Structure 1
């Protein structure tokens, strides 16, 4: 009987499977590449919108930085830095006069007010100047997610009155007065706010034994990033 070679036409079928696998791999890497690309126009628009919302004029800057190793996305905008810039612009006059200070902290930022611009001597009633200054900072603060801790500070000179038996009561009453104004006049959520009375226990500078130090008599608003 004569033998017959029979390959059934399947000798090259493995090429079809191989081609399918290569096609799938190519599609997979195309998807990876597409998902890794940055829409720089959209990113720039987001950055500009954030700066406008915080009252800082938008400025063009590169979003993707090229280098020998390829491209790298620059960091997101510094939200606390933008807020500090805006607040500083709102109270520029008071900063120049030395009655208000604003600085960055590890947890966010702090606004520091000398007590003489907010309260009368030995009083926890906000002055007209105090309300004017708080009005300036209220709007930018209202539209941020920061928690706000208001601290009252004194120097070690004792106070003895029917309203304030000690500096503890005076310092916490002043912090509470600021919070009450922000809630009543500008509709801050009370859940964002906390009042602390520190008395004379956290001085910024050394106190004179006889006269204390006016820099230590202050109210601080601590803006805490969540």
Structure 2
């Protein structure tokens, strides 16, 4: 016969067994929780690492662009400084030449202007050459001699350019205005080099004929203005 004591032992065994199962389930749940927790944390860390790398790349890019902007700013500042210096030099040269022309009574025959960082000295053809001729006149030599003395005091290169009006010329010596304007420019250059000892490496010349007029060729006054010699002093 089964005793009451045996029943109690069986009951206690059942209770102990159920408690162990519950405890085991709880441990399993906690273990799963920690596994999920650490898995989630690892994903977060990986995600944060990715975000960090992305931010660092952006910082490096911004740093590189900032360096580039600083270099461009420095370059622009240097260019602006050079432009200001060129403007100052041109203004100084302009004032000096105007003063020079005034002191030598040349303002009626010679004019000065600034154009694209150049100083342009313009001579009326009538004071340097006779009509249809390329030989420099006596008065022309006197004027060019004074101008050459001034040019010798500066180091700038310059170009001598010849221009005519649009009235055609057709002689054995000058078949067109192009030859006439070129011959006049060449003779001015020869005078500067041979008579005034200006370094030939500083000088060049060109002849434009009737091209690049500064006034209308439809009037006598306009054609007179277009017949000219220009000395363009480079800066």
> Same fold judged by TM-score > 0.5?
yes
Unaligned runs of 5+ in 2: 1-83
1:100 maps to which of 110, 117, 123: 110
- TM-score scaled to structure 1, two decimals? 0.61
The aligned residue for residue 23 of structure 1 is: none
Which structure has the greater CA radius of gyration? 2
C-alpha deviation, 1:113, in angstroms: 0.4
Cα deviation, residue 212, structure 1: 6.4
Structure 1 position 143, deviation (Å): 2.2
| Alpha-carbon offset, residue 107 of structure 1 | 2.3
More deviation in 129-138 or 196-205? 129-138
Task: List 4+ stretches of structure 1 deviating above 6 A.
Answer: 209-212
Structure 2 length normalisation: TM-score?
Answer: 0.59
Could you list the per-position Cα deviations for residues 105-152 of structure 1 after superposition, in whole angstroms to 9, with x for gaps in the alignment? 222200000100000111110111111111111122112121111110
- Secondary structure at the residue paired with 2:106? helix
Question: 2-side partners of 1:109 and 1:168: how far apart?
Answer: 24
User: Deviation string for 1:75-116 (max 9, x for gaps)?
Assistant: 769232222222222222232x2x211011222200000100
How far apart are the structure 1 equivalents of 2:90 and 2:110? 18
Q: Is the helix fraction higher in 1 or 2?
A: 2
Per the alignment, residue 123 of structure 2 pairs with 113
Q: Which sections of structure 1, spanning at least 5 residues, go unmatched?
A: 1-74
Q: Is the 8 A contact 2:90 2:117 kept in 1?
A: no
More strand per residue: 1
| C-alpha contact 1:148 1:194 (8 A) present in aligned 2 | yes
- Give the CA RMSD over aligned residues: 2.0
CA distance in 1, matches of 2:219, 2:142: 33
